[in-house]
Amino acid sequence: MAVPRELQSAIAPQAYPASAVLAAVGLLALGLGWSWPALGALGLALANLAFFRNPSRVIPQGDRQVVSPADGRVVEVTKLDDPDEFVGPAWRIAIFLSVFDVHINRAPFSGRVRAVRRRGGRFLAAFRSDASEHNVQLRLDLEGPDGTRIGVSQITGLIARRIVCHASEGGTLERGEPYGLICYGSRAEVYLPIRSEIAVRPGDRVRGGATILAEVPA
């Protein structure tokens, strides 16, 4: 997939409307002599820009390595009997993104997008384990050149309710390639073959496109 222009910039363009409004309010308050409201509005404008930052990353080059799809903290490493993306057991690695984390999502593995599925209807707090089942989410089913299948999900949270995804069924993604984002705190999950060697555990901090989560079997 050709990386969309909006995911090539240092700040995703979704930041600009809200930041522009906050900056205008801050400047107006400053002109009226309301120092503290002005500083608050201008501070929020800058914080919003920082939220949508898109730093460059050095992508690991190993063909069997699966990288994190997002920045955040690993909250779950679980064996599942039969998740939607696989026939048979699989690993699920869940990552919680706070409002302070980078929210650009990256492909965990190189492959063809076999399917794009939208599911769920609730907006529970993203750190809750049941958010995996109930929250609004978008799941990609990736298939590598050798048939290895990897699932990756963008999951909304209590505040984060907007998913941006530029991947499409039949397209391809390269490991570490930016493909979307979730606005204002969220959750990302990766589904892996059960024979994968897991490299992280709950509590670990990870960086999208840079941290190796696992190595899949050849």
CA distance linking residue 86 with residue 83, whole number of Å: 6
Q: In 81-113, which positions are buried (b, 16+ CB within 10 angstroms) versus exposed (e)?
A: eebebbeeebbbbbbbbeeebbbbbbbbbbbeb
Closest CA to 52 of 20, 99, 5: 99
> Which residue is catalytic, options 68, 132, 153, 186?
186
Q: Is 186 a catalytic residue?
A: yes
Query: Residue 171 to residues 26, 114, 157: CA-CA distances in angstroms?
Result: 43, 8, 27
Q: Which residues pair with 93 in a beta bridge?
A: 77, 190
- The catalytic site residues sit at 186
